[in-house]
Amino acid sequence: MLEQGDAAPDVSVQAADGSMVPLADLLGRTLVLYFYPKDDTSGCTSEAKDFSALKPEFDAAGADVVGISKNSPADHAKFIAKYDLKVRLVTDPDGLVCEAFDTWVQKSMYGRKYMGIDRATFLIDTSGKIVRIWRKVKVPGHAEEVLAAVRAIGSAGSDGAAATA
């Protein structure tokens, strides 16, 4: 299980154009990776809209926000257009990214067990170190909490000490 202080896994995600992009290519700025189960469901839509509403503030704080699910790039395009989302959405077609970040988990609904993406967010500094992890995310207020942690990294310098308290 990944912990704060670990290096972010060396994996690749699928961009909107279908190309594979190494996670390392997304570094250089603070990176917020949020994993969510499925486009256009109530919780996932609220989360994407919340991050989108705060995108100018994340930009000003020097952070990029990227949402990851197993939906196809075409599904992401429809989802983005439907809600005028401002955050970048990428695809994990083979599930390797979810597995690397320990977000592919067994779930249970109405007694039925199945595998799915656990809603989680990872805050990664410019060097690729995981500064903060949120697991079992509850959507209301989450984007604001992540933004506060991003700002704390900026005020603490590159070590992220303020964000881990």
CA 21 to chain centre: 15
Would you say 44 and 69 are in contact if contact means Cβ atoms under 8 Å apart? yes
Listed residue (7, 1, 14) closest to 94, CA to CA: 14
The β-bridge partners of 22 are 12
Which is catalytic among the residues 44, 68, 146, 150?
A: 44
Is residue 44 among the annotated active site residues? yes
Q: Cα separation of 87 and 53, whole Å?
A: 9
Listed residue (24, 17, 32) closest to 124, CA to CA: 32
141, amino acid identity: G
Q: Cα separation of 44 and 147, whole Å?
A: 18
Kindly list the catalytic residues.
Answer: 44
